Structure 1
């Protein structure tokens, strides 16, 4: 247990850093079939306990998925992925590795997706497969190193497997939404090829563990493209945003169309509901509570608090709001530009929210607000982090040009989105969008104050502009 505790605590995907915790239990929930003699490829669930600071409350628990490879002999090629050594009921003293680093173990995972077994010798791992794509079983696996909350493994240039590390019983929205959009023929997502469920007999629930999808190897990250456009603008001192070669407005407009089409597909295949005045009031109240909490973290918000509360209060003038399945955590970093257009990725919703809340229908204007804020962030990040821009006059000029780039691309995105939906941005939609934008800025201010104090000026600048 000590080996696992150390490994979990140091893992990039572990979300409990900085908190006191203990490893309460570890249990094997299934094995991937086909392992040869002297090897086992298993999935284990680790239950972590986080003691409450309130003596009257029980400890909080979280479940993490651990894909492990057990070998009877040490594997020098996997020395970098060694977790430890402990006794196994079949192998005796086993050398245990993170299976996602092991190409031989990943080949067994891929084979199970290609031909889902009807049962496994141990546990109830249920591999699902959508028709229409033949997997390349000869492709070598490569574990991506940059992710935080999950782990992704590419199989050559053919497919990509996302392994959910922190898991919760129930439907994972990333899988559910990708399945619906894939089956609907959407061109704005990476096609879903399959997914892995655990039928957990201990709790009589289903936990979704992984998804296999199209690998968009040649795609460009939307955030990186936006930053490159800003740098092109800043390099041309005498040109405006619509005059430089790297003008992004066309891409922003195409992204607005893509989001509108995704929202339309989601509305056609998931429930669309109406929130009444009381529920809208609850939404306003929740935003007000987040502001109250944020004031303790970011005192600079106090100068804008009255105006923010007025923005939230206008929600109470609305009689009804239509809600549906949305992305829930949309920004430029959740988009990919391919030769066939924009793709939207990672439909898990805001990772910090409970699963039940992430599955709830919401207004499409939450997604729109997230993207608009991302268009504001990109130029201001370049202005803040660019070298050699320390003089006051040059900083002022960069701030002006950042605002110009942001305004142009926000407008292009929003105009294209509303045009594709076939509706103008009416008073009710404007009220919703303003409230979601304000709520997002407050969230950003808290995040930057806690994680990147040097960037706190970005959300605060947005509040200053609307004063």
Structure 2
């Protein structure tokens, strides 16, 4: 993204006047990635008035702001900053009003003391139904507004009432009239976001498992540094996410193997369509060894941060070493575009009983180039297998046999849907499961210590000797 500004307001004075407010408000947002590190400054990337802010009524200001923070990043996946990092770029949609109505008091960012917006109230614009509706209107009429470009593939009805969803943390989503859902990316990376790129590709391939984008908007579209800002897709009203369905089944003492089998087939359909429409590659010796080495480094870093993990490091490391040994002996693996962050919460069962897969953004905290890199499909499989395990161990008493039945049924369904059984790539599947479990230990230790026994149970299982793997 180019560091330019486009606004009817004086761009030089705009950000300094907002900086004191943003310094307090941004770190409290659920989607702000730099928690725990002080904000030291801001850089204005672009500023665009989607609705003029020079009247008594509400205006809507679209900002891309780069946030500089002090302190070194950790070694985990959540803190990618480092020395020389220009800072994360965030998308803000700020309402501007002379007097904020009482029903929007909860959305207040603050009152501007000086600069071009002096005396105005600034607030989270997406909380204002009038401004949220305006954003849909922009998507209904494709074209350019300053550095922003709006696109659509179908006609979109007008007058759809908006509401903000509370469930997400790394982005913000609005539902319009129970017909469409608009995901607004908060942390912005240079390049096409996979949550637009992959569903578009799947739509071209005729894959009905993923809602096809009907509109989107970008910054710097058509340029090498263009960035996806938001994607509008059909809203699957009445759908239930796989995580809650699994928990309900556990609570009722019901088996979930049939649902797991169907989800395996759905995952296979998505992977097959992605491989058919986007390039695939082969992971040979060097790439596979680099993959194993990266997993091993993450294990070392996690064990240093979470001492309870340390006794299991030797056993866990054998999973990564087994992949490196196979690569050295000439084993190769197919890699393609995948979901990248697949778990039961990313799968929806529609009212018709079919599984749909959503949220192709990948791990939002990882660099975009890494998320767009072809990877072995078993990475997604490992994510779902860990999700079954999480569900089974989150209930009381834990039910690992339930999880094992789900895991087997899912892999069987996947094999039937793709012609490739993920269990045939046992070493690579175990390595990805181990890597995921290590990440889960780190996450739970930092954010939900009461949940730490859940991934630690997997660590104990995965660290046990596996005689069917190649010896390092």
What TM bracket, shorter-length normalisation? 0.7 to 0.9
Distance 2:83 2:106 in 1: 40
The correspondence for 2:285, drawn from 277, 281, 302, is: 277
Q: SS of 1:373's equivalent?
A: helix
Q: CA deviation at 1:135?
A: 2.4
Q: CA deviation at 1:93?
A: 3.8
Q: CA deviation at 1:23?
A: 3.2
Distance 1:101 1:425 in 2: 44
After superposition, the Cα gap between the structure-2 partners of 1:264 and 1:359, relative to the gap in structure 1 and judged at 3 Å, is same
Distance 1:298 1:53 in 2: 18
Q: CA deviation at 1:60?
A: 4.8
Q: CA deviation at 1:153?
A: 0.8
So what's the TM-score if we normalise by structure 1?
0.87
1:353 — aligned with what?
366
Task: Report matched runs for 1:48-87 at 5 Å.
Answer: 48-53=67-72, 57-58=83-84, 60-86=86-112
1:418 — aligned with what?
415
Q: Deviations over 1:77-118 (max 9, x none)?
A: 3222122233798876433221101111122111111121x3
Distance 2:31 2:323 in 1: 37
Q: CA deviation at 1:286?
A: 0.8
1:409 — aligned with what?
406
Q: SS of 2:67's equivalent?
A: strand
Distance 2:117 2:410 in 1: 58
Q: Is the Cα–Cα contact under 8 Å of residues 51 and 59 in structure 1 kept in the other structure?
A: no
The correspondence for 1:324, drawn from 315, 324, 336, is: 336
Q: CA deviation at 1:52?
A: 4.0
2:79 — aligned with what?
none
Q: CA deviation at 1:140?
A: 1.1
The correspondence for 1:339, drawn from 335, 341, 351, is: 351
Q: CA deviation at 1:377?
A: 0.8
**Mind listing any 5+ residue stretches in structure 2 that lack a counterpart?**
1-18, 74-81, 465-472
1:224 — aligned with what?
244
1:437 — aligned with what?
433
Q: Given the alignment of the two structures, is residue 454 of structure 1 paired with residue 466 of structure 2, yes or no?
A: no
Distance 1:97 1:204 in 2: 32
Q: Is the Cα–Cα contact under 8 Å of residues 46 and 147 in structure 2 kept in the other structure?
A: no
2:76 — aligned with what?
none
Q: Is the Cα–Cα contact under 8 Å of residues 161 and 213 in structure 1 kept in the other structure?
A: yes
Give the aligned length: 431
User: What is the Cα-based RMSD across aligned positions, in Å?
Assistant: 2.4
Distance 2:67 2:221 in 1: 17
After superposition, the Cα gap between the structure-2 partners of 1:60 and 1:124, relative to the gap in structure 1 and judged at 3 Å, is closer
Distance 1:410 1:284 in 2: 24
* Stretch moving more, 335-344 or 292-301: 292-301
After superposition, the Cα gap between the structure-2 partners of 1:44 and 1:204, relative to the gap in structure 1 and judged at 3 Å, is farther
After superposition, the Cα gap between the structure-2 partners of 1:198 and 1:59, relative to the gap in structure 1 and judged at 3 Å, is closer
Q: Deviations over 1:291-329 (max 9, x none)?
A: 111211233333322222222111121332110000111
2:469 — aligned with what?
none
Distance 2:403 2:243 in 1: 13
The correspondence for 1:207, drawn from 227, 234, 247, is: 227
Q: CA deviation at 1:425?
A: 4.6
So what's the TM-score if we normalise by structure 2?
0.86
Q: Given the alignment of the two structures, is residue 162 of structure 1 paired with residue 170 of structure 2, yes or no?
A: no
Q: Deviations over 1:144-201 (max 9, x none)?
A: 1232111111111111111111111111111111111223332211221111101189
* Stretch moving more, 253-262 or 186-195: 186-195
Q: CA deviation at 1:409?
A: 0.5
Q: Deviations over 1:317-356 (max 9, x none)?
A: 1332110000111111111111231111111111221111
After superposition, the Cα gap between the structure-2 partners of 1:430 and 1:59, relative to the gap in structure 1 and judged at 3 Å, is closer
Q: SS of 1:119's equivalent?
A: strand
2:13 — aligned with what?
none
Q: CA deviation at 1:76?
A: 3.3
Task: Report matched runs for 1:17-166 at 5 Å.
Answer: 17-26=35-44, 28-32=46-50, 37-38=55-56, 39-53=58-72, 57-58=83-84, 60-86=86-112, 93-116=119-142, 118-120=143-145, 123-131=146-154, 134-166=155-187
Q: Is the Cα–Cα contact under 8 Å of residues 53 and 96 in structure 2 kept in the other structure?
A: no
Q: Is the Cα–Cα contact under 8 Å of residues 23 and 46 in structure 1 kept in the other structure?
A: no
After superposition, the Cα gap between the structure-2 partners of 1:112 and 1:313, relative to the gap in structure 1 and judged at 3 Å, is same
Q: Deviations over 1:40-86 (max 9, x none)?
A: 322112221122449x9335511111101223444333222122233
1:388 — aligned with what?
none
Q: Is the Cα–Cα contact under 8 Å of residues 29 and 198 in structure 1 kept in the other structure?
A: no
Distance 1:175 1:425 in 2: 27
* Stretch moving more, 29-38 or 162-171: 29-38
Q: Deviations over 1:115-151 (max 9, x none)?
A: 21x333xx221011012xx423212111112321111
1:395 — aligned with what?
none
